[in-house]
Every structure is written in structure tokens, then in C-alpha cells.
Chains A and B, each alone.
Chain A
Amino acid sequence: MTAASAQSDATPDSDVLVRVQGVVKHFPIRTGLLRRVVGRVHAVDGVSLEVKRGETLGIVGETGCGKSTLARCVARLYDLTGGTVVFDGKDISRLSRRGMRPLRKGIQMIFQDPIGSLNPRRRIGSIIGDPFAIHRISRGEQRKRQVQELMRLVGLNPEHYNRFPAEFSGGQRQRIGVARALALRPKLIIADEPVSALDVSIQAQILNLLTDLQGEFGLTYIFIAHDLSVVRHVSDRIAVMYLGKIVEVATVAELYARPRHPYTNALLSAVPVPDPDHADQRERIILVGDVPSPINPPSGCRFHPRCPKAQNLCTEVDPELEVKKDDGAEHLAACHFPVEVGEQLSRARAGIAQPDRETATDVSRETVQGAIRPQDRS
């Protein structure tokens, strides 16, 4: 919380489009005939961040870390368990569906699945025209003209107005989704893994389209992905999530040059390097174990059971997201023992009892180097 307030001092309110403060989203787990609540999934557990007008904020993290849930909380597709979301100077976190309706024009989403996000039984002219129909903006011939204008804008043939989603390729379908999100001229577009389901060759086309549209309409993006190279390509700033919390936020250059959180280091070291000679020299950090269950997250720092630098303090005190020594005001990390420049994390030894950690790290390091190299060369 201190971090968020420190950040809000730094940036004037008018520059901030979205301010997320201490957002919590728990999903109850119910069983039995009486649907008794037996536990909670801590999908998002106290996230604070800001999105400035016109920027692209990338959110990365592995599957199940809560990045999609966070996006749906910001878009108010979910009710929040706690915390506030301020959009364009207005607190939207407690608005009802009816109260939210006029604000929907300002926030739109692009979804991951280009097949599932388009109704298979409706023609795409009708799908893209939905925003105009729902907000009673236009009808008949005028709506058709607007829809065809949008189709042209995203690179679709306007003559395909009467086709069904099944008649388009994956990339074209994602363009339909982009056109629909763009219809109401929103201020913020939340893209939830918009290219994960597409071929690599098509990914670039969609990313370029999104970048072009951002320049043209002054859009702000929250861009969610698990592919670090995609996020790096489109983002101005990146937030790294782990198990429902943000562990590090920084500008792209900062994050890639000086990652402070051990988890960020591990993530970055997992990105494949196209040059095999270079890949040999790079340090690879292999994390032990799996992501713990969000139903019963670890005490203190959530990353401590897998962290190569964990100490006793980490098991007890949850670290704040704050500016670390030598970092700029834009670079926040939630770690008691941030990684220093030049530090070799794979040599680090945790200060807490963790059975089979040492052997696991050594063995995996050797096998990975042995196994990956021939493949990289081929």
C-alpha cells in the first residue's frame, strides 16, 4: 500500500487512467448439498498498480497466477472481494451492473480465444454491430456503414459483413474481436492473451495492428500474456505477477536490464535465446517445485518455498512492493533480498530448510545444459 501511495505522489492524477488499489478477488469453494464454503481460491490478493494514459502495461506471469482475474476485476466483469478500481477519476469498484453500463464504453476487452469469443450462430456484421445496438447508438444502414468502416480499419474485407465466424481464419477472427472492442472508441482496452491462440506469423500481424490503433486513437492497453517476448514487444511497462500478487513493476528497459525479484530473474532466464553460442553463456535459473496452491498460499513472501535466496524473514513477513536501493521511482519490487546486478542466482543458497533443493538445482542445471544445447544447434 505504501508503494502505491508513493507512486501516486509521483504521478499527477490527470495522467493516470486506471488506479488499482489493494484489489482482492477470492473465489469461494463450495461443496455438498448445502453449498457450504469450505475454502477460498486467492486468485488476486492485494494488487495495486496504475496505468497511465496512452501507455501499454504488460502483465506477465505463469498460468493460474491471477492475471486474467485481475483483468476481469478491472473491467468489472467480476465483483471485487476488496480494494478499489478508479477509472478515469471515478471509483467503479462498487458500481452495480446498471451503474457500470455507461462506463462500459470506456473499457473494452479483447479475449484470448478467437473461436469462443465470437457467437458461432451470428453473422459478424451483427457481432461487430453489437456495441452500437447495446448502447443504442445507431441502427439500420448507418450501423452497417459504421461496422464496415471498423472492418476496414482492422484489415477485414467489409464485403464479408454477412459471413459467419466459422468462415474466417484465427487471425481474421481476432481482428473481428479487435473491431468489436474498438467500436465504442474506448479509452482502455484490456487484451487478455490476445495472441496466445494464434500462429507465430499471425501474432506479429495482430500485435502490429494493436500498436497502430494505439497510435491512431490514443488507446491505453492492459496487455496480458505469458509470452515474455510478446510483452516486451508491445509494452511500455511490465508488471510481473506470482500467485495473486505483483512481485515487480518496471519499465521494459529497466525490467530486462536489472530484474530485482528472483522470480523475474527466473522468468527472464527461461526466455529462449535465438543465438546458441550466446545461450551457452547465459545463466539459467531453474526453479524447484510447482506453484503452490492459491487455496492455501504460503506464509510471508509467497515465493519463498521456491526462492533460491529465501531466508527466515521471507517465511514470516510479506514484502511490500516498493522502490529498492539504486532504482528509479518507476521500478518497484516486492522482495526482502532483491537481486543485485551481477549476482549469480543459480549459485545462491537459501537460508531455510528445504529438502532436496540443492541436489535438484544442480541436477536440473546439468541436464538442461546437456539436453538443450544439441537442440538449439539443430
Chain B
Amino acid sequence: MSTAIGGMDAHLAQANVAEPEGEAAAEIQGRSPWQLAWGRLRQDRVAVGSAIVIFLVVLLAILAPLVAHLVGHGPGEQFPFTALNTYGLPVGPSRAFLFGADDLGRDVLVRVVYGARISLIAGVVASGLAVLVGGIVGMVAGYFGTVVDTALSRFMDVILSFPLLLFAIALVSIVGPSLTVTIAVIAFFSWAVVGRIIRGQTLSLREKEFVEAARSLGASDMRIMFVDILPNLVAPLIVYATLLIPASIVFEATLSFLGLGVVPPTPTWGNMLSDAESYYKVAWWFIIFPGGALLITTLAFNLLGDSVRDALDPRYARLFKA
């Protein structure tokens, strides 16, 4: 072949002149779309701020036992003599109880920090499951179309039309409340939303010429789905994962608030709010701290999700000097 190529040298030389390379040979590695998105994200102050807040919440959740050790109060420990006053009402924020105490004489600070563990686990695991299931179902429905699409789309419609709280109450009354059940319920009601969006994206992607090119090369359906289509779906999947996390955290809190989530005495923000319901007039700290933690965490995730979406959207790139 090398002799044959010799005959093309003239042509190649001409081509190289026509399309000159201004770059130095050292800078060969191109910047991937991910690297460009990462660059845009790092310039976004809201994103950086949200990421820092999320990082701190995660750090506190991981270091919860250390916090408990430093303060000297366990998450389930009751201090009836120091945390409750003579009328049996919880004491407010003080040096001993920085965030005050709850109705059973427990340290609100320690419980909020431990509650972050449940919230984050429920939020991340449930969103992860939802994105995984929704992504696969949506991709299969969109790629294969016809009967498969009709069946899966109708199934997603059914799930989306379920009265979710009623369903959750019924389910929990049968199998009993636990963290696993809570996560399963959240994931079950969230994946269909992801599935629909991914299905729509796949529908447009499969008509692209690069899919046709893969088919003309003899690629299998599996290969086309996972090698050609999936990389183009990662951006919406990341965006939906970051936006699903706060929704799942709130959903978990709702279920715990209703006594359908994680069982007391394990502290979660939801069941702390539920306990605080009857005391908030006399003990504002009881509702402000878990509520505030919930608000700050979900807000940070939502803002980060928005920023990630903007960073991954190429049309948005023009607004920045990337």
C-alpha cells in the first residue's frame, strides 16, 4: 500500500495547504464537550456557591459522629434535666444546646446533622435509581419505537397519573415503613418523568445521520444505543439527576413527616418537622433548624442543577467566552 500512497502525495500536499493547521503539535488533545462544560460551570458563581454548600452538608453528614462527640450528645440521647425546663418544655439555643433541644430533651444540632445523612442517602440513591431505570426505559422506548414504545409510554403515563401519596400510604401500611421502602417509593414515582424526557431525546437522536452511518457499518442495536446514543443523553441525565435529588429529599421529608418514612427514633428532617408541629409556638428553634437545613440543601441542589443544565447546553455557550 505504501507505494500506492506515494501517488497521492501531490494531492495530500495540496489538501494540507488548503486546510492549514495553525496549532502547535504539542496541543493535539482537543477539549471535549465535557471539558468545555466544566470550564463554563467553574465560571458560574452560583454553581460554585451551591457546590460549596452541598460539599459542607455532605461533610457534616459524614462527620456526624464527630459532631456528636464534640458536643457530647448522642443523636438519640435524652437530657431530661438539662434540656427541658421545669414545665417540661424544651430549652432554647444555649452554649450546651447550640440549636436548642426538642420535646424529649434531645440535641437539635446533633439530630439535624444526623438527619442530613438520611436525606442525602434517600435523595441520591432514589434519584440514581430513577435516572437509571428512566434512562434505560426511555432509551429503549425511543429507539425501538412502534409497539415497544407504545407499551412503555402508556406504562409511564399510568405511573405519572398515580395519586402518589395515597399509593405511598397504602404501600407503607402493608409492608411497614423503612428507609428502603421510602427510597423505593420515591424512585418508583420519579423514573417515569426521566423516562419520558429521555424517550423524546432518543426519538430525535435515532434519526440522526450518525446513527444511520453506524447502521450502515453493521452495528448492532445494543452498540448503537450504548455507543452512539447514550453519550448524547448523558447531559440531560446529569441535569435530571441533579434536579431530582432535591425533589427526592423533599419527598422523603414529606413521607417522614406523615410517619410513612424513616421510623423514629432515627432522626430525619421530616420527622423532626413532624415532632415540631405541636411545639413551634413555644420552641421556634425546633422547626427553624431542620426546616432551614432542608431549605438550604434543596435550594443548593436546585441552583446547581440549573447551572449544570446551562453549562451543558451548547446554545448557552455563546454567552460565555469559553
Contacts and interface: CB of A to CB of B under 8 A. Distances in A.
A180 B213 contact: yes
B166 interface: no
B30 A208 contact: no
B8 A153 contact: yes
Of the listed residues A134, A169, A201, the one surrounded by the most CB atoms of chain B closer than 10 A to its CB is: A134
Of the listed residues B14, B215, B223, B234, the one surrounded by the most CB atoms of chain A closer than 10 A to its CB is: B215
A360 interface: no
Interface string A67-81: 000000001010000
A312 interface: no
A278 interface: no
Interface stretch (B18-26, B269-277, B281-289): B18-26
A119 interface: yes
Interface in B201-251: 208-210, 212-219, 223, 227-228, 231-232, 234
A216 B11 CA distance: 13
B30 A162 contact: yes
B212 A77 contact: yes
Of the listed residues A113, A120, A172, the one surrounded by the most CB atoms of chain B closer than 10 A to its CB is: A120
Given A119-B228, A130-B214, A134-B219, A209 B30 contact: no
Contact of A119 (B15, B21, B210): B210
A206 B28 CA distance: 24
B71 to A, nearest CB: 49
Given A77-B216, A167-B30, A117 B210 contact: yes
A96 to B, nearest CB: 12
Given A119-B231, A120-B33, A104 B216 contact: yes
Interface in B112-159: none
Given A119-B228, A121-B33, A159-B28, A109 B216 contact: yes
Interface string A104-126: 11011101110011111111000
Contacts of B33: 120-121, 164, 166
B218 A163 contact: no
A90 interface: no
B152 to A, nearest CB: 16
A104 B11 contact: no
B170 to A, nearest CB: 32
A212 interface: yes
Contacts of B25: 159
Nearest to A114: B209
B216 A172 contact: no
Contacts of B29: 162
A116 B208 contact: yes
Contacts of B208: 116
A12 to B, nearest CB: 28
B175 interface: no
B12 to A, nearest CB: 5
B265 interface: no
Contact of B218 (A135, A160, A201): A135
A216 B7 contact: yes
B70 interface: no
Nearest to A177: B213
Of the listed residues B19, B29, B228, the one surrounded by the most CB atoms of chain A closer than 10 A to its CB is: B19
Contacts of B21: 157, 160
A319 interface: no
Nearest to B214: A130
A155 interface: yes
Contacts of B16: 155, 157
A121 B217 contact: no
A135 to B, nearest CB: 7
B195 to A, nearest CB: 21
Given A77-B216, A118-B210, A130-B219, A212 B231 contact: no
Contacts of A160: 21, 28, 30
B4 interface: yes
A121 B231 contact: yes
B191 to A, nearest CB: 24
A139 interface: no
Contacts of B214: 130, 134
A171 interface: yes
Nearest to A103: B218
Given A134-B223, A205-B18, A216-B4, A122 B213 contact: no
Nearest to A119: B210
A100 interface: yes
A213 B10 CA distance: 13
A212 B213 contact: no
A231 B103 CA distance: 87
B32 interface: yes
Given A155-B15, A205-B15, A208-B11, A101 B218 contact: yes
Contact of B15 (A77, A149, A164, A209): A209
A105 B216 CA distance: 9
Given A111-B212, A116-B210, A153-B5, A209 B218 contact: no
Given A77-B212, A209-B11, A104 B231 contact: no
A120 B216 contact: no
A100 B218 contact: yes
A308 interface: no
A111 B12 CA distance: 22
Interface in B52-111: none
B217 A116 contact: no
A209 to B, nearest CB: 7
Given A153-B8, A157-B21, A113 B209 contact: yes
Contacts of A61: none
A58 to B, nearest CB: 20
Complex A-B, nearest 3 residue pairs according to Cβ-Cβ distance, in ascending order: A155-B15, A104-B218, A163-B30
Interface of B: 1, 4-5, 7-8, 11-12, 14-16, 18-19, 21, 25, 28-33, 208-210, 212-219, 223, 227-228, 231-232, 234
15 contacts: A105-B218, A111-B209, A111-B213, A119-B232, A120-B232, A121-B232, A121-B234, A131-B217, A157-B16, A164-B30, A164-B33, A166-B33, A180-B217, A208-B11, A212-B11
Given A107-B216, A119-B210, A159-B28, 13 more contacts: A77-B212, A112-B209, A116-B210, A117-B209, A120-B33, A123-B30, A134-B219, A155-B19, A160-B28, A163-B30, A164-B31, A171-B18, A208-B11
